[in-house]
């Protein structure tokens, strides 16, 4: 709809200005002042058409000037260029109006112009023009409707594909978590059972092992989760990236494995976004300590974008950054604007 709105006005305005210029050249000398006045009206209306084409919306002024221009040329045709100027204006006006306004506006306008043409030149002389305008405007409207239906069908197919991809991604994530959970179960409860079966253990020790295993399996406050050093993994991600990555590092405490994994994966996704979309070959990573956690910032000075304009179907920012960090108890924010680069700030823990 936006593309058609941007094209219809400028096409109509430009073509009618050109036709009006040829009309002036073909007008008898006695009627030249009137022809130049019509040309001026066509230029003004064409300028309004082009302006509304740039904004993508045809307002009331464009509609009124479109009708006024066609009416003026039809009414004055006996004194300018009979049988040439007005029929072309009617045809082009009728066709392009179908791409911008609804039938409740276009049908009365086109019908009124045809009635006016019949009154001015008579039915016999206007019959061929009437038939041509009716057929061509009807075909233009039909093509417009078919185009809209086709695009809506394509959009529905795309939405179904997105839904299938989302379902497949969720299924893969569930299977991955199941594998991780089974591996964790092997490392905790199974190991405890094996120890009890093979070795004689004190009941108090067995109870302590069971409490630890339960805390790990249920993820209670990250209890007994292994602590890891964030620096080697981040430096490995930076070394694997084709970008020239500059790292500013401040010592940070050891983090739970799940938090470190979320930070590393989010940084990798941010660097991939820089590589794919920013249009630059370098990025900066800043690592800072904050309380018992860490803040990692990925900055580029590339093309930037408007985060608010990103389609909800795009999962890069929401899924790979925001939701990933939130699921690990952290936060992710993306700050950017066109032409001003992008800053991705990752923090753990939340707050």
Alpha carbons 243 and 229: distance in angstroms, whole number: 23
Helix 60-75 with 103-121: angle, nearest 10 deg? 10
**349 cis-preceded (ω within 30 degrees of 0):** yes
Comparing 72 with 58, the larger pLDDT belongs to: 72
Q: Report the pLDDT value the prediction gives residue 223, as an integer from 0 to 100.
A: 43
Task: Return mean pLDDT, the chain.
Answer: 82
Q: Does position 285 have pLDDT exceeding 70, yes or no?
A: yes
Contact between 119 and 75 under an 8 Å Cβ cutoff? The reply is no
d(C-alpha 230, C-alpha 288), whole Å: 11
**Sheet (strand 244-249) strand order:** 244-249, 282-290, 293-300, 342-348, 331-336
- Region label for 244, one of left (φ > 0), alpha (ψ between -120 and 50) or beta (otherwise): beta
**Most distant CA pair in the chain, distance:** 120
β-bridge mates for residue 343, sequence order: 299, 335
Does pTM top 0.85 for this prediction?
Answer: no
Contact 252, 287 (CB under 8 A): yes
Confidence band for 193, pLDDT divided at 50, 70 and 90: low
Q: Which is it for strands 282-290 and 244-249: parallel, antiparallel or unpaired?
A: parallel
CA distance linking residue 271 with residue 253, whole number of Å: 23
Number of neighbouring beta carbons within 10 Å of residue 62 = 23
What is the signed CA dihedral for 191, 192, 195, 197, rounded to 10 degrees? Answer: -110
First CA to last CA across the chain, in angstroms? 44
- Counting residues of the chain whose pLDDT is more than 70, the rounded percentage is 81
Residue 328 and residue 259 in contact, taking contact as beta carbons nearer than 8 Å: yes
Vertex 284: Cα angle to 328 and 349 (nearest 5): 20
How would residue 213 be classed by pLDDT, with cut points 50, 70 and 90? low
* Band of pLDDT at residue 27, cut at 50, 70 and 90: confident
Please name every residue paired with 299 in a beta bridge, in sequence order, or none if there are none. Answer: 284, 343
Are 74 and 61 in contact by the 8 Å Cβ rule? The answer is no
Token duo for residue 283:
């990025």
Condensed to tens digits (0 to 9), the pLDDT of residues 109-164 reads 999 999 988 888 888 888 888 898 899 999 999 998 998 899 899 999 999 998 88
């Amino acid at each position: 709809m936006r593309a058609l709105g941007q094209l219809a006005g400028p096409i109509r305005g430009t073509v009618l200005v050109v036709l009006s210029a040829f009309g002036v050249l073909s007008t008898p000398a006695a009627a030249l002042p009137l022809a130049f006045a019509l040309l001026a009206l066509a230029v003004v209306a064409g300028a309004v058409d082009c302006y509304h084409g740039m904004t993508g919306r045809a307002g009331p002024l464009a509609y009124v000037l479109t009708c006024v221009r066609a009416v003026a040329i039809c009414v004055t045709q006996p004194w300018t260029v009979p049988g040439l100027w007005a029929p072309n204006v009617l045809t082009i006006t009728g066709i392009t109006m179908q791409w911008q306004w609804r039938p409740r506006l276009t049908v009365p306008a086109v019908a009124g112009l045809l009635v006016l043409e019949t009154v001015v030149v008579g039915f016999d002389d206007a019959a061929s023009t009437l038939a041509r305008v009716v057929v061509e405007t009807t075909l233009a409207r039909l093509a417009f409707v078919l185009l809209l239906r086709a695009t809506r069908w394509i959009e529905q197919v795309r939405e179904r594909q997105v839904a299938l991809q989302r379902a497949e991604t969720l299924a893969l994530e569930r299977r991955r978590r199941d594998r991780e959970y089974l591996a964790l179960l092997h490392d905790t409860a199974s190991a405890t059972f094996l120890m009890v079966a093979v070795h004689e253990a004190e009941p108090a020790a067995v109870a302590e092992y069971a409490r630890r295993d339960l805390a790990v399996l249920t993820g209670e406050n990250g209890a007994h989760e292994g602590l890891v050093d964030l620096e080697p993994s981040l430096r490995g991600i930076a070394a694997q990236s084709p970008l020239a990555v500059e790292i500013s590092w401040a010592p940070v405490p050891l983090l739970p494995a799940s938090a470190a994994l979320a930070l590393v994966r989010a940084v990798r996704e941010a660097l991939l976004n820089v590589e794919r979309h920013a249009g630059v070959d370098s990025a900066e990573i800043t690592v800072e300590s904050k309380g018992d956690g860490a803040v990692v910032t990925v900055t580029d000075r590339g093309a930037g974008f408007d985060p608010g304009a990103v389609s909800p179907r795009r999962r890069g920012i929401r899924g790979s950054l925001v939701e990933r960090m939130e699921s690990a108890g952290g936060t992710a924010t993306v700050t950017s604007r066109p032409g001003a680069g992008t800053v991705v700030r990752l923090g753990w823990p939340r707050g």
